[in-house]
Structure 1
């Protein structure tokens, strides 16, 4: 249906077309009640580069029965509206845009009832991503127990906003989304922010804080190795797995240490280091307004709109203002 790193879009004008599309992408499904022949849904699907994304926009109220399928872990994020999730055991869970997402294991059947005009992003997580999230046992704690990931924390809201941005960017740019490394960076950032959101959402007694077992004692060396690697790689493409390998720690330990010691994720720290490097070049007195894009691109920023927003958030002014003020002084 699509290439590994491609984009597929389907506008379904009948329940049968929607069922065929979703069954080919993820799991066999069926509508729970008869719908009109003019019922319309929209589906698009992509990978970036190993994270599967499926976006669904429902045209009206709908109840869909999703059959058990092969073992896969899915995160269902309502981007607008809400849906009710029902399992055979009779437990109803309401998942509303901006408030929560749902982790499910596809080897169990589930019923979903959508409000009118609901849209949802489904992330298909592979083994590598599950490892970053803390491993299968930790993820199963959500898929089999709480099942809802609350997004009412700072990191939860950041994850939701990133999911919305990734969906809009993918929908607008389509195949161009995969050019220039943007999809790869967004995948790493999505998983890192989800990991932080899971840590906040987990029951207190289920967390394994870095202060237990003397783990905090190894934080400085882990962080120093990771940050030394990042400092040497500001102008090179860097994946999250590269930072993990350089640190000598597991992905889970690295994330936890960075959040406790730096108050940010490894990729967040890398972005800050790159912003500081851009700022240093722009304040050197040698840069002109026409150099901003070149300098930002050299330091790993592939989306100028996001770069400008991040720069202004950190320094309180736009890159062009920085150049103007540096010349004034």
Structure 2
């Protein structure tokens, strides 16, 4: 690779004990364990920079080392193979990574990687909150369970502009006087690039569209107004988190899910009261059919929405029937 990704200015270890490097990695890059050949005396090296919400790391262990971790928890890893080879195990499957390839690891993915003796990697640690926050900022539906990369392995040549962007990030990270606002700007661009260039579970709809999952939810609500409708169940239906469900309703209905449901239930009650073919035995029974258990609050909400009390609507309907009868 021709793009420099961290240089001597960022060196933390050179010709060092791999176990000392591993301790540092556990503190700054990700929880893991290493397994080294018994007879070897390898010399490891590591460069590291914190950059806004990201951590940048360039590492080589100098031996055929195996790196394992049950999960990275609240972080994603972007790993670029610079030289050598890396064996990536996923369950019973094995994949060999070559220089110029990129591996994306989700926070709950088990890690099992074996570096060749000449292997060197560049790693970017990306916090979950960064990608989740970008989804909210762009008004994209955040999937239930959070963002996930659905495809893990890429050729850098297929990710247009990503390597150049990482090179600029490293150059900015090594400036003598860091600029926090500039770093934050670059961090947002890195997050945007990752979500736009790779295959994820994020549906990048804009606030000007009415996404299909919103249409599915409101259609379900209209067909189940007499049932209990909780935010958790509606979020599962939309295949998003509860927080994203609130965002969907804010963008598309300018209100909360609970408010929307109440408005639709009041509209259904109103439609029954004005429709002469709809049998209404009593106002209290009709109200309770649609989940209004407190009749005083029901009447006040109805009056605010339709400009009159429900008893007035019913009285007008009965007067009309009497005149026509």
What TM-score do you get using the length of structure 1 for normalisation? 0.49
* Structure of higher CA gyration radius: 2
**Superposition TM-score, scaled by structure 2 size:** 0.50
Specify which structure has the bigger relative contact order, considering alpha-carbon pairs within 8 angstroms and separated by 6 or more residues.
2
